[in-house]
Structure 1
């Protein structure tokens, strides 16, 4: 056996084969310890990942369902989502209603504060603990006296509302604007396809122009030279226009007169039913929801002599506004699906011209499209449409405006589009959800 020398003493201690056996024993012990560590570590990491995924899913589900459910029901829904993934029969009580907390989240201090009844944020803890009799078992580490591990995971989700969906021009299709427009700080223009812009437009610092790929921006060769501030305003992003998924929900809420979508100026869930082809303010009852049947024709809304205000109108008919009509503190919803389900020849004013004061806004919602021939003005106004929106605006007629559509937006020239922040409190919005920590 090589250089090994056999002596007449104990072969068990000095024989070459014996020395190899001792080394093998040491290697076996060390290998077993390393294997135990690797096996248990891999298991613990996999289990912790499962708990984290469960916490993430439960937190999102709890906050999403809190929008329409009570706190208790939202917790039950969240727990129900996790059960098929980590069944209690195998994993014990991973999550329960007491490990789901609703509250608020301060983005500056990064602090979650538990607050009963809140729907702004949620914190969820998933766990496998000895005190709950579902601790993660140890395998080879039991040789070292460690027979279980306590594991926890936590997720915090919060709601937010993208500023661009509050004020701006937002479309799944192309957003096409022409020349000589100006956009003030905070105003957004977004397309989930691409933006087309002509020339001699001005984008104040703080303006956002976005699309999935800014390389798709359509503009003349001299575009950046002839569109001051445009290059600085560009952003790569895609946005889900989730509020458009809620149109049926908004309609149902307005039809019932109950729930979060009913404007504050509606004082009673009583619904007024009418049959008419033309309506004026004096035909309507203030602070009441009206369902109007145009009897197979179109519904003409004449707000020229007196503004249509403090009412909700729901109709299955296409709507035509008379020249120079005004609406304020009013929501008008048509379920008509035609490409021109809401039209106005000229001078339609959506919202009260009150220099961005609170209140006075107005909303037009349609399952079809919108076309305003000229002089559209919006002062704390909102248009939600499933199809294209075509408009030509007043020169100074956009001060607090939100247009959101599944179709395209074909815009105007010679307009100033200003940012208000206030005066749009009644607009229909939906929460977005993101992980806070």
Structure 2
């Protein structure tokens, strides 16, 4: 065997060590593995995000459906069933499995500040929904390339919260679909609120207690009309104004709900001073001097219809107006009851200058309130559609006697038409809901915890003080806005 000289052996050995042929193939192998891992992560993360988005959309539409159905029907079980069906329509069970069950839906209350939800299925104005794809439900989100490293699937949950809140300015304030027109030298205090879906007009020398929550709102600032566009003529109005709406409140529908809710005792509309839901039909007598007869008829349906008729004394000559037309007085009514009153002459039901307390009165005639009528724990409803004055009062009408933010003594007027009061109207825990226009005058401290809701316009007055009540008024008919996504 030929032996190489030592120098040649070392030279060839060192030359072989320096040979890099084939090294790039090994490096490519490492790059390929790394690229496959990153590609797998990208593909699987994209799939995961897509699956989560699908679940979130399903949770959102289910939450909206649940709250809307609960509002329309008052039935929480039906609302939950509807939500489950809506979710399944968005993510078919045959493909995605069961993503939502009724046990995943809860009604309750939502704290916007702390972002916390408190479960209470008796509360109808907030809902919490959780949709999910879980291994325990046999429908997790599967991975793709990550399966090669032993990662097979993910559990994914999403939640959604919807709430319905009281529409702005429908309690302790003026709300109108049409124009709100206020005159001069008024004071708006302690959280009182003014909103128009169309236009707000203010004259001058009005004061707005902005620091204590007074707000004036309209869809855009161009819908706020003031003299010479000079905000210095109305103290704090520039700070108090805000853009919001339109809300397009259906006042006719609200009135339908109020009438049906009062008669059925629905929790949102029941009057605490009504102790018997059976409606009494009251027909005041008519004729010169108040002569004639009348009756109160109550109908109870419990398998068999029972009619109880009680004669009403109509011989009191003080219970007539100048034309001899019979006036409605408290003597015609029964405390704690709902009354349906029909007019026997013309289209007007005159209301005597008395205090009406602990009653609900429903009629299809115009109300003509005498000077000095006081309503306390009372609700008067007319289905007359006279858009200007289906409710009229010359002066001195008192709607509510709930001073100091009390709920006892509250009163409400409801009309499918409009209301006009000439002077000296006062509202303390009082509410007016009209499908048409509301036109009123007041003097001094005429409005404390007052709510006026108009499908038409609100035409106000001068020299009045309008004050809100920070604790709210438990006897106002509340108007809830559309369901809103919270989280």
State the TM bucket, normalised to the shorter chain: 0.7 to 0.9
* Structure 1 counterpart SS, 2:280: strand
Contact 1:357 1:423 in 2 (8 A): no
SS in 2 for 1:160: coil
Q: Match for residue 42 of structure 2?
A: 38
1:312 matched to 2:319? The reply is no
Q: Report the alpha carbon displacement of residue 79 of structure 1 after superposing the two structures with TM.
A: 1.1
What is the match of residue 431 of structure 2?
382
Decide which of 373, 380, 387 is 1:332's aligned counterpart: 380
Superposed CA offset, 1:315-357 (max 9, x none): 1222222223221111112222221222222222111163433
1:253 aligns with 2:253: no
Q: Does 1:74 align with 2:79?
A: yes
Q: What's the TM-score, normalizing by structure 2?
A: 0.79
Give the match for residue 198 of structure 1.
203
Q: Distance in 1 between matches of 2:431 and 2:58?
A: 38
Shift of 1:120: 4.9
Residue equivalent to 1:63: 67
Cα distance per residue 1:285-344 (max 9 Å; x no partner)? 11110111214732324241x212211111122222222322111111222222122222
Return the index of the structure with the highest Cα Rg: 2
User: SS state of the match for residue 74, structure 1?
Assistant: helix
**How many angstroms apart in 2 are the aligned matches of 1:189 and 1:221?**
21
Alpha-carbon distance, 1:282 to partner: 1.2
Match for residue 170 of structure 2 among 158, 165, 175: 165
Once structures 1 and 2 are overlaid, which stretch shifts more, 27-36 or 381-390? 27-36
CA contact 2:327–2:352 (8 Å) conserved in 1: no
Alignment partner for residue 418 of structure 1, among 463, 467, 485? Answer: 467
The one of 190, 206, 221 equivalent to 2:228 is: 221
| Alignment map for 1:6-25 (pairs within 5 Å) | 14=21
- Tell me if 1:287 matches 2:348: no
Query: Could you tell me how far apart the structure 2 residues matched to 1:27 and 1:424 are?
Result: 71
Taking structure 1 as reference, are residues 20 and 303 closer, same or farther at Cα in structure 2, changes over 3 Å only?
Answer: farther
**Deviation per CA, 1:13-52, whole angstroms, max 9, x where unpaired?**
95xxx89988877666555444433322222112111211
- Per-residue deviation, residues 241-271 of structure 1 (Å, max 9, x unmatched): 6573422121112234555312010000111
Report what 1:174 is aligned to.
179
Provide the residue aligned with 1:5 in structure 2. Answer: none
The offset of 1:395, in angstroms, is 2.6
SS of structure 2 residue aligned to 1:189: strand
Q: Distance in 2 between matches of 1:326 and 1:428?
A: 19
CA distance in 2, matches of 1:275, 1:259: 29
Unpaired segments of 5 or more residues in structure 1? 1-8
Cα RMSD, aligned residues only: 2.7
User: Which residue matches 1:403?
Assistant: 452
The 3 A distance-change label for structure 1 pair 169 and 192 is same
**In 1, Cα distance between the equivalents of 2:32 and 2:378?**
81
The more displaced of 326-335 and 33-42 is: 33-42
Residue pair 2:185, 2:463 contacting (<8 A) in 1 also: yes
* In 1, Cα distance between equivalents of 2:344 and 2:90: 53
The one of 110, 118, 132 aligned to 1:113: 118
In the alignment, is residue 263 of structure 1 matched against residue 267 of structure 2?
no
> How far off is 1:162 after superposition?
4.9
The change in CA–CA distance for 1:117 and 1:417 in structure 2 (over 3 A counts) is closer
- Distance (Å, rounded) in 2 between the aligned partners of 1:310 and 1:180: 36
| Aligned position for 1:428 | 477
Deviation at 1:199, TM superposition (A): 0.7
C-alpha separation in 2, matches of 1:243 and 1:308:
29
- Flag the 1:132–1:126 CA change in 2: closer, same or farther, 3 A: same
Question: Aligned with 1:297: secondary structure?
Answer: coil
What TM-score, normalized by structure 1, do the two folds share? Answer: 0.88
1:94-133 equivalent positions in 2, closer than 5 A: 94-133=99-138
1:58/1:79 contact within 8 Å kept: yes
* 8 Å CA contact 1:255, 1:314 repeated in 2: no
